[in-house]
Structure 1
Amino acid sequence: MSGALRIKVHARDGLAVAVEIDSPRVDPSAVFIGRTPEEAAVLASRLFSLCPSAQSIATRAATGLPSQPNETLALLCEKLTELLRASLLDWPGAAPAPDDIATLRDALSLLRRAPDAAALRDALARLAPFFARQHAEAAEDDDAMRLSPRRADFLTPDDDVLVIDALWSDRTFCRAPALPGRRVETGIAARRGLAHGGLAARVTARRAEMLDTVAAMTNLCDGGAAPDLVSRGAGYAAVDSARGRLYHACKLDASGRISDYRMVAPTEWNFHPDGPFARLIAGARIGAGADAKRRVERLAFAFDPCIKAEAEILELPHA
């Protein structure tokens, strides 16, 4: 699961003409074959360094194991952990100040224990200056790139059966998932219905998502209704993880062991070679040199890959 998402942008006169996306991510499904559901669920929590709770919960649900106590709270804590960590440490722009890093460490420590909603809200408030700088940088890049508005097509629970059918019919589907006639997106933009979002709008939505996650945690701890984050079907599960809709599908043999397993992660939808990120960056005025590289990497950040994105700008000769 190491390495970086490689994005090659072919540009001419500062305009992105074509995009190539190469992901080093591997499909780990085969490691579950021959294991019991209980063994697979434990393995999933150890195998994935990012979103281990979502992966383990998806494995439990797909293999038919019952849900566990505090499952929803674990997903909410993991979502906030991932959004906070990536927002401060993975943003290709102004580095967070030492006080920001200290606040991040405090928040992550809280999320590993019983979450304190008031303390988490205070941490987000203390990080407001960093988020303001981040938004200002994003707005400057929006002005420069002049992204063409494209109405988003979001992955929803209504698509679950189609996705699972595609997973079983094509083993390579997990590498470049696509639904017929569509280029779907999943993640924050999908959850918030961000139909035409550029970079600044996506950064704003990310912070709003963090605040709403704390509110959901507060409501849940106060005895309120739990948000519906896990969908279960016959031999499959879909989990609304930090980065979007995560799918696992499983078949068991007569002895109750796993005979086949498939999964598809949110990153593969958003960074499909002809997916939502590629379509948005195509035609953008990215500029040249370090500015162009930074703008592409910032836009990739806004689509929230599971791994760091690194851009390479290849200048084409004049037409």
Structure 2
Amino acid sequence: MSDPAGRLNIQLRRVASGFACQIGSTRPVASSALFRGRGMTETASLLPLLFSICARSQALACAGALERAGGMKPDPGTAHLRRMVVAVETVREHLWRILLDWPAILGEEPDRQAMIRVQAIARDVFAAADPDGALFRPGSETPIPSPDVLAGTASSLANLMAERILGMSPDVWLERVENLAAFDDWCRSVSTPSARLLRGLLDSGEGRFGHAEICALSDPADSELASELRGPQAAEFVARPSWRGLPRETTPLTRYAESGLTAALVADQGRGILARLVAQVVETASLIQRVRGGGSGAQLAVVQDGALEAGVGIGRADAARGLLVHLAEVDGTRVLDYRILAPTEWNFHPKGVVAKALAALPDAEDSVLSRRAQLLVTAIDPCVAFDLVLP
């Protein structure tokens, strides 16, 4: 039976110049068409049910698109709470990789017990923040829970991250581990699987592997996004997006490229495996810090200014894997058209960052090459299963 979420097929083969990479996808990128003709409220309720991963990021982008198209201004408290819920979801997604996938790369048992705790914490905050399922309903004015709910959630996640990953609180780690020397000291003084994996990449030089020069997807104006998503090549743009004629990258690394530690690693190691994995840790710690502080200074995507036609809306969310964009066209309360542009299509574009990064790997025996390729794909993190076929 085929996977309803689709799969990625990644093939790496040896050529005279090194490697060539081909990426195919069965992701149902046109599935959002099923919302045509539905009501706005029905669309907002049904859409997150299609996504088992990052459902609340999808709901945030959906609410933003429908509210903008319908001429609604979200209640400020509701908008803020939505962003905090998405921050917790993003933390959960990153911790899934860090606690389950990273130990497996070392040949160790995944930390399932810690991940069960993370899941329980996230469920509790989602239930407290959205008890009646109305938080992401267009135009909703949801009662805001006590600040203690978010603060308690952040404290629980911070304690778990300190215990299982960092060896210290996220706040302290962000303050202390901000340059290469401090990172090296931390890697050697903490014995968690995460620290040992990163230390191994640093010592072996493998952290540099997979460097690829791909421009980041900056902050395109809503009007430009709407033009692409409504134009004659919209289906191609959703499936294989490019910007100004070039593939782009949208990942935690592009979001935190200017962060002290991430910037230092990129300068020293390039945009390879190590910098990408560390960017996930930096983002996880930073989001926990923001939720604990009530979200002040949060850098989560919001609706951008820019002229749009009446009845057209763009919604955005900084999902765990990159920028997520929704477009809605409405007539009254009925959806005329709907499109979703997901980060996986940017990053796993046939000529995008994953293809170039894999092609840049040094040749090695098949078992070593396979491990490095798997690690690189994990570092860039698709939102669906993938098959990796090597020479």
Q: Equivalent residues in 2 for 1:6-155 (5 A)?
A: 6-12=9-15, 16-27=18-29, 28-64=31-67, 66-67=73-74, 69=78, 70-91=81-102, 93-95=105-107, 97=109, 100-114=111-125, 115=150, 116-128=153-165, 129-139=192-202, 142-143=205-206, 146-147=209-210, 149-155=211-217
| Pick aligned residue for 2:302 from 216, 230, 233 | 230
* Identical aligned residues as a percent: 27
Q: Is the partner of 2:294 in helix, strand or coil?
A: helix
CA distance in 2 between counterparts of 1:16 and 1:75 reads 41
Question: Is it true that 1:289 corresponds to 2:291 in the alignment?
Answer: no
Question: Is it true that 1:185 corresponds to 2:185 in the alignment?
Answer: no
User: How many angstroms does 1:95 deviate by?
Assistant: 5.0
Contact residue 36 and residue 335 of structure 2 kept, 8 A: yes
Residue 317 of structure 1 is matched in structure 2 by none
CA distance in 1 between counterparts of 2:300 and 2:208 reads 37
Structure 1, residues 188-229: CA drift from partner, whole Å, max 9, x if none?
0110115632101211111111110100101116xx455443
Amino acid at match of 2:154: A
Contact residue 317 and residue 325 of structure 2 kept, 8 A: yes
CA distance in 2 between counterparts of 1:250 and 1:25 reads 20
Deviates more, 1:60-69 or 1:21-30: 60-69
Q: Equivalent residues in 2 for 1:164-175 (5 A)?
A: 164-169=226-231, 170=233, 171-175=235-239
Contact residue 241 and residue 247 of structure 2 kept, 8 A: no
Q: Is the partner of 1:157 in helix, strand or coil?
A: coil
CA distance in 2 between counterparts of 1:161 and 1:306 reads 27
Give the gaps of 5 or more residues in structure 1: 315-319
Contact residue 297 and residue 309 of structure 1 kept, 8 A: no
Give TM-score, length-normalised by structure 1: 0.87
Contact residue 160 and residue 238 of structure 1 kept, 8 A: no
Aligned residues: 308
User: How many angstroms does 1:104 deviate by?
Assistant: 1.8
Structure 1's 168 and 58: CA in aligned 2 closer, same or farther, altered over 3 A?
A: same
Residue 322 of structure 2 is matched in structure 1 by 244
Contact residue 251 and residue 258 of structure 1 kept, 8 A: yes
Structure 1, residues 224-270: CA drift from partner, whole Å, max 9, x if none?
455443225641112111111101111113x4311111111000000
Q: RMSD in angstroms over aligned alpha carbons?
A: 2.5
Residue 178 of structure 2 is matched in structure 1 by none
Structure 1's 47 and 275: CA in aligned 2 closer, same or farther, altered over 3 A?
A: same
Contact residue 10 and residue 22 of structure 2 kept, 8 A: yes
Give the gaps of 5 or more residues in structure 2: 126-149, 166-191, 258-262
CA distance in 2 between counterparts of 1:144 and 1:187 reads 17
CA distance in 2 between counterparts of 1:67 and 1:130 reads 42
Q: Equivalent residues in 2 for 1:191-202 (5 A)?
A: 191-193=255-257, 196-202=270-276
